[in-house]
A = this chain, B = another copy of it.
Amino acid sequence: MRLSRLLRPRTVVSAHCDLPCGVYDPAQARIEAESIKAIAEKYQASEDPEFRTRALIIKEQRAELIKHHLWVLWTDYFKAPHFEKYPHLHQLFNEATKLAGAGGAKGSVDPAVAGRLLAKIEEISTIFWETKKA
């Protein structure tokens, strides 16, 4: 997280419901991805079959939330001028949501996969906060 983001005025908020209210924040996706990473670590550290099944149930739900939060940013927050300025943005979101799905965080319990997802979300977050400053 860049210092510029940490020090942004608190009143700068951003849109996330489809009224739209205008309050968006990639932190919603990031928090779920941190959860996925922690779940994967606890899964690997446990041999209890009931705990492991619960971990898979919950991971599936959190990964679905990540996809949802990212889709909302891609469709609702980012506009044509953003896609012009960041030509790889479509692909970045497509890769990030794929990485939250069957080919990534849903299909794997490897903490490293969750780590890669977190890195993708951070890439999106960096672009997001750049567009907020502009």
Interface residues of A (CB under 8 A from B): 1, 6-7, 10, 13, 15-23, 25, 27-28, 31, 34-36, 38-39, 42, 50-51, 53-58, 60-62, 64, 67-68, 71, 74-76, 83, 90-91, 94, 97-98, 101-102, 106-107, 109
Q: How many copies does the complex hold?
A: 6
Q: Main SS of chain A's interface residues?
A: helix
Tell me how far the C-beta of A112 lies from the nearest C-beta in chain B, rounded to whole angstroms. 15
Determine if B1 and A17 form an interchain contact, defined as CB atoms under 8 angstroms apart: no
Subset of 25 A-B contacts with CB under 8 Å: A13-B34, A15-B35, A17-B35, A17-B39, A18-B58, A18-B64, A19-B42, A19-B51, A20-B102, A21-B42, A21-B58, A27-B27, A50-B109, A51-B107, A53-B53, A53-B56, A54-B60, A56-B57, A67-B75, A68-B68, A75-B97, A75-B98, A76-B98, A76-B102, A90-B91
